[in-house]
Amino acid sequence: MKKIYCLSGLGADSRIFANLKIEEAQLVHLPWPAYDEHDELPCYAQKMSALIKDENPILLGVSFGGMLAVEIAKMRTVQQVIIVSSAKTREEIPHFGKFMKFLVMRQVVPASFYTWPNRFVLKLFGAQTDTEKDMLKGVFTSSDGHLVRWAMKAIQLWQNESYPQPIVHIHGDTDKIITPEYIHPNYWIKGGSHIMIYNRAEEISAIINKELSNANRL
């Protein structure tokens, strides 16, 4: 059975992948390795890559995890990269306003803020049902706020302009975190939000299964 190495979004855990149904595959969620405050995204991706012992791995990255997957695929041979609700290059990341960028770059906001699942944040991520809200609240409250704060800065410093092939990019056209106007995906999910890998898992699973099947024929 093939393994698919899953890289979640900022501070999140394996719960975000819980509803996926991938044929003849084992989903292996990668934990967050220790980071250094001076790490930039490519350096942290190298630490994440060290956790993958298999050759030619399949990577599935969501949000920040997708950016890490892109960087890992630039430094080692991979069989396939699939990113969801994410960005392949710097050009696909939405621009922060000057004030927000100042807060992120100076790390003024307390780390505890990033573990506070308020109503505005839940709506921003696209949680609508009680089940979705409870899942997201659990992810936020159990996340490492210091890691999230560091990662927000690392994203702002990310200067990537290229990405390796093969790569499959799936994105929602109502994503309010990585907004669609800058995105050039292979697949659009109509009405898909930033947590669509959880609440639109059936559609995303079908795409992943199709892409993996096509790759096996090559």
pLDDT in tens, 4-27: 999 999 878 899 999 999 999 999
| 40 assigned to some structural domain | yes
In a domain, residue 124? The reply is no
User: How many other CB atoms sit within 10 Å of the CB of residue 52?
Assistant: 17
- pLDDT at res. 202: 98
Residue 135 lies in a domain: no
Domain count, the chain: 1
Q: Is residue 195 part of a domain?
A: yes
On average, the pLDDT of the chain sits at 91
Q: Residue 180 half-sphere exposure, CB side, CA atoms within 13 Å? A: 16
Task: Determine the structural domain holding residue 172 and report its residue range.
Answer: 2-94+159-217
Q: Are 199 and 128 in contact (CB under 8 A)?
A: yes
Note the pTM of the prediction, 2 decimals.
0.94
13 falls within a domain: yes
Question: Does residue 146 register a pLDDT over 70?
Answer: yes
Q: pLDDT grade, residue 69 (50/70/90)?
A: very high
Rounded to an integer, what distance in angstroms lies between the CA atom of residue 78 and that of residue 61?
A: 13
Q: List helix spans (H) across 62-144.
A: 64-75, 98-106, 119-125, 130-142
Assigned domain for 90 exists: yes
What is the CATH classification number for the domain harbouring 189? 3.40.50.1820
**Ranges 72-76, 105-109, 141-145: which has the least confidence:** 105-109
Residue 150 within a domain: no
Residue type, 79: Q
**Does residue 114 lie within any of the structural domains?**
no
Q: For residue range 190-203, list pLDDT tens digits in order.
A: 999 999 999 999 99
Residue 99 confidence (pLDDT): 46
Flag whether pLDDT at 187 surpasses 60: yes
